[in-house]
Amino acid sequence: MRMNADTVALLTLILAGGSLAPRRALARSRPTLASAINAGPVAWRQAGCSAAQQKRLAAPDHALLETGLDWLQRPDHHLLALDDPRFPPLLHDIPEPPLALFIHGDPSRLWLPAVAVVGSRSPTPSGRALAAEFSRAFAQAGMAVVSGLAAGIDAAAHQAVLEVAGVTVAVIGNGPDSVYPPHHRRLQASVAALGAVASEYPPGTPARPAYFPARNRLVAGLSLVTVVIEAANRSGALITARLAAEAGREVCALPGSVRNPRAAGCHRLIRDGAALVETPDEVLALVAPALAHSLPALQKHLHAPTEQGRRAHLPASLASEPDYQNLWKALDHDPTPMDSLITRCGLTAARLSSMLLAMELAGIVVCEHGRYCRNPGFPTSTASLTQAEGQ
């Protein structure tokens, strides 16, 4: 089997385990990863690698190395180093970015503006239904939904997005060649086929309790906002929320009954300053400023504003929904302020913000100084909306 020397070196560095900081320092110490690994023990010590890390760098586990190389040979399997141009930019901003990401699926899915939906592994029927309802709404607004593929709220969120052909990203706490929990094998395969499954752990790594908090920081880090739906006071979802706040991201929580112990963690988050939300539109309105900031980089990465790219991110349901038809009629080629659109459409500000967000992501609407207008550079792909106007 032949593989790029830097890829082999990156796998060797990942398999060395231990603290991330010295391994990142070692990777930056030489022009290439291969030269950093080949620099030897003196360079490893100068980078701050521990004795255990130095031992594994000198004598890597060849079985695990072969397992990783074999996994990378298969279709839609990727390994992105921290300096890879395809590496999701939001993860550069978290306190402890991963050394690299193993991705099964499309790496560009991790660039899409995303909402993290997290919560209890044993939710009430109401909690599960809310996770599905919110996740479907986010997907239909053009957002990706990120979660951890765990049982309960995570699974409900992923499944709901798949049902509306949206984009969902699963961040897992084990190697990308394994599934945890095992009964999520079909769900994980579906997420990889339509979105992406991401892990910082190499193939051959089993799920371990200690890995899940680290996984949670990536769930939060990939997302502009984290939404917590049912979480007890001692819950991994609260760790995700805390890590999101530490990374400077928005945190929202749904309130619940005071008699429901699975709502106690959400109430605690709200007391500590998380936004209390009751509808998906409230979440989308909250995240709109951060999205506006990230949209230019996203469009550049996805080669927008080509018509093909816009078509790819236009939710299929827009043309068939009366509210979107009314909004399209209310928009002009001259920029229109939000309050005028509210008057013309008779919609709430939160609802209108989420709709404009979806249309802006699709490329059919542009925003100029807080005013919205039809995109003059997008004449042909609006045919379906124009046709809908005449119905």
Give per-residue pLDDT as tens, 6-40: 999 999 999 999 999 999 999 999 999 999 999 99
Q: Provide the pLDDT confidence category of residue 384 given band limits of 50, 70 and 90.
A: very low
Q: Which helix (H) or strand (E) holds 171?
A: strand 168-171
For residue 380, what pLDDT band results from cuts at 50, 70 and 90? Answer: very low
Average of pLDDT values for 167-178? 97
- State residue 297's pLDDT score: 60
Q: In what order do the strands lie in the sheet with 336-337?
A: 336-337, 371-374, 365-368
Residue 383 structure tokens = 């045919």
Q: How would residue 320 be classed by pLDDT, with cut points 50, 70 and 90?
A: low
Check residues 159 and 141 and name the one with the higher pLDDT: 159
pLDDT at position 9? 96
| Average pLDDT of the segment spanning 142-153 | 95
pLDDT of residue 237: 94
Please say whether the dihedral angle defined by the alpha carbons of residues 7, 9, 11 and 13, taken in this order, is positive or negative: negative
Name which residue leads in pLDDT, 251 or 343. Answer: 251
Per DSSP bridges, beta strands 168-171 and 144-147 are: parallel
Q: Could you tell me if 295 and 361 are in contact, meaning their C-beta atoms sit under 8 angstroms apart?
A: yes
For Cα atoms 384, 389, 390, give the angle at the middle one, nearest 5 degrees: 100
Q: Is residue 376 exposed (0-12), middle (13-18) or buried (19+ Cβ within 10 Å)?
A: exposed
With beta carbons less than 8 A apart as the criterion, state whether 339 and 308 touch. no
- Asked whether residue 292 carries a pLDDT value surpassing 80, the answer given is no
Model confidence at 126, pLDDT cuts 50, 70, 90, reads very high
Q: How many CB atoms lie within 10 A of CB 284?
A: 26
**Residue 108, Cβ neighbours under 10 Å: how many?**
16
d(CA 304, CA 105): 21
The confidence score (pLDDT) of residue 390 equals 38
Give the bridge partners for 156, in sequence order.
none
**Contact, 381 vs 311, CB < 8 A?**
yes
- Which two three-digit tokens encode residue 334? 């001259």
What was the pLDDT predicted at 2?
A: 45
pLDDT at 293: 62
pLDDT band for position 185 (cuts 50, 70, 90): very high
104 vs 119: CA distance, rounded Å = 24
Name beta bridge partners: 381.
Answer: none
Whole-prediction pTM: 0.79
Average pLDDT over residues 89-97: 92
pLDDT at 303: 46
For the chain, the average pLDDT equals 87
Inform me whether the pLDDT recorded for 385 exceeds 60: no
CATH number of 303-389: 1.10.10.10
Give 107-283's CATH code, choosing from 3.90.180.10, 3.40.50.10860, 3.10.129.10, 3.40.50.450: 3.40.50.450
Q: Are strands 168-171 and 196-199 parallel, antiparallel or unpaired?
A: parallel
Asked whether the predicted pLDDT for residue 312 surpasses 90, the reply is no
| Mean pLDDT across 318-344 | 81
As separate numbers, helices (DSSP H) first and strands (DSSP E) second, the chain gives: 18, 12
Residue-wise DSSP of 295-360: HHHHHHHTTTTSHHHHHHTS-TTGGG-HHHHHHHHH--SS-EEHHHHHHHHT--HHHHHHHHHHHH
What is the C-alpha to C-alpha distance for residues 326 and 343, in angstroms, rounded to an integer? 12
The predicted model gives 215-240 an average pLDDT of 95
Strands 196-199 and 100-105: antiparallel
